[in-house]
Structure 1
Amino acid sequence: MIMEQRLTAEERLTLKTGAFGAVFLVSNADPGMLALVRESFAASGAMADASGIVKEALTTGPLPKLPRDSALEIESVVLPALTRAVTILRTKAPSEVGTYREVVLAAADRVAQAHHGVSPEEAVMIERIRAALAQPA
């Protein structure tokens, strides 16, 4: 049996950057001010459903600092953070990998569904997030 290890502050921030960044990417794929409020509530509900080490990582410590200049710059930070987060969890808490993937994808899907259903742009972004989460270590 593999023992789960505590995550460092840097590792928790990586998990948080990936999760919060994924929500941000989906939200920005089809932007709108009214949608932003609904999407924020939808994402927070999915994150609240997390448990264990994943919940600890997503609910403690500072918020991640994401670039704001362009969607490509944001993606260049968030998608690798998602892949690193899975690698971290595979090493330190293998039983939590599925939880992290499920929480991130649920949050992304809830954000997309929150305002008039999933747009084609949001669907593309969710698939990019899913691919980043599926990358092997």
Structure 2
Amino acid sequence: MPLKRRRKPNAEFSVASLTDIIFLLLIFFMLTANFVQVKPFELPESDSKTVAPTSIVIGISKNSDFYHDATLVQFQQLEEIIKAAFVKSNQNKDFTVTIVAEVGTPFEEVIEVMKIAGKLKVKSILATQPKPKS
């Protein structure tokens, strides 16, 4: 009478395909990430630790030049640029205009961009750099 051998199930898990999936996810997130392009300005200092989402970046130099994604634009174009980005985001309630104003920028220029954001009923924040620790 021949004895039947019992085959034990293999309890090992192959991770070879898992590394491929992780690599593909990494590539996907790197390609779809929203990279913020900020012109290298000297920003005002603040001790605030708040990090806010960025939907659109508007830069203002101390010479009153306005930038959108490091591209020089006219002040008259700002409302249309912000409105187009807001509509493109499906009028997301968390849409935020980040104002990057160089140190020495006339505050009236910052206020004008904030007025445009207020007119469109979107949030606006002022970008700052951390104060050096003493």
Larger radius of gyration: 2
Going by fraction, where is strand more abundant, 1 or 2? 2
TM tier relative to shorter chain = 0.3 to 0.5
Going by fraction, where is helix more abundant, 1 or 2? 1
Which structure's relative contact order is higher, taking Cα pairs within 8 Å and 6+ residues apart?
A: 1
